[in-house]
């Protein structure tokens, strides 16, 4: 199975900060990488697919990059609605696997 | 609009089975895959398996291979996930999710809480 490792597991940031989350795959996955946002008690929301493509309706403050084994999710200017947990997922091969999550909290 | 509506919360005893349903609407049911993902309390997301509603082909995570069965009913656009031999650590919220044939996820169900307790 492909292991997905996210870092950090949590971070504290202020409104307006630029935030970067890292995801590393245990083997190359090309660009078969998605990012999800989840708020407490809610289903995940799809943000990015193919490492850098924004899902329809997702604001452009979210961006993704990377290929192979190393990927990043960046939020350009953190807003109150962005405080949540973020997960990466590889869909290169079965079983699909998720990173452990990064909880973004208010400083 | 695309909707995935899941069945309601369940409470089961250890050793029992549970069936969670996911009813699709707003799109052509057989053109997209349905996956099952679970989340234990305070934990991350865990992929369990998937079904291609066109033909019924399934793929399961090794961890659940001998306990999970995913089926579909094209007449009602519904996918069911049955998990057997329940244990306390199966207590979780179970989500269904829709992907295209490239495995890109676009929609999620609201989640179903399954509690396993004696």
Instruction: List, for residues A46-93, the tens digit of each pLDDT value.
Output: 999 999 999 999 999 999 999 999 999 999 999 999 999 999 999 999
Buried b / exposed e along A43-53 (16+ C-beta atoms within 10 A): bbbbbbbbbbe
What average pLDDT score do residues B10-20 get? 98
Contact (CB<8Å) A36/B105: yes
CA dist list (Å): A87 to A6, A96, B16, B18: 8, 13, 31, 27
Residues A16, A18, A24, A28: is their CA dihedral positive or negative?
Answer: positive
User: For residue range B36-88, what is the model confidence (pLDDT) as tens digits?
Assistant: 999 999 999 999 999 999 999 999 999 999 999 999 999 999 999 999 999 99
Looking at every residue in chain B, the average pLDDT score rounds to 97
Give B49 to chain A, closest Cα distance, Å.
8
Q: What is the pLDDT of residue A14?
A: 95
The confidence band for A106, taking pLDDT boundaries of 50, 70 and 90, is confident
The residue among B45, B64, B98, B104 with the most chain A CBs within 10 A of its CB, best to mutate, is B45
DSSP string, B3-21: EEEE---EEE-TT--EEEE
The β-bridge partners of A45 are A37
CB B27 within 8 A of CB B2: yes
């Amino acid at each position: 199975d492909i292991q997905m490792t996210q870092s950090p597991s949590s971070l504290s940031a202020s409104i307006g900060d630029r935030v970067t989350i890292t995801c590393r795959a245990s083997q190359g996955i090309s660009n078969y990488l998605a990012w999800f946002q989840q708020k407490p008690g809610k289903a995940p929301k799809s943000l990015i697919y193919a490492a850098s493509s924004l899902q329809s309706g997702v604001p452009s403050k979210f961006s993704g990059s990377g290929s192979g084994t190393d990927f990043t999710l960046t939020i350009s200017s953190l807003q109150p609605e962005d405080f949540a947990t973020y997960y990466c997922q590889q869909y290169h091969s079965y079983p699909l696997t998720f990173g452990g999550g990064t909880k973004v909290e208010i400083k | 609009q695309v909707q995935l509506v899941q069945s309601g919360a369940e409470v089961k005893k250890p050793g029992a089975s549970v069936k969670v349903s996911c009813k699709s609407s707003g799109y052509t049911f057989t053109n997209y895959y349905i996956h099952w993902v679970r989340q234990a309390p305070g934990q991350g997301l865990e992929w369990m398996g998937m079904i291609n509603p066109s033909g019924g082909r399934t793929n399961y995570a090794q961890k659940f291979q001998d306990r999970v069965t995913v089926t579909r009913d094209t007449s009602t656009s519904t996918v069911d996930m049955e998990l057997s031999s329940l244990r306390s650590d199966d207590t979780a919220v179970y989500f269904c999710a829709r992907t295209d044939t490239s495995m890109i996820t676009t929609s999620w169900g609201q989640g179903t809480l399954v509690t396993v307790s004696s």
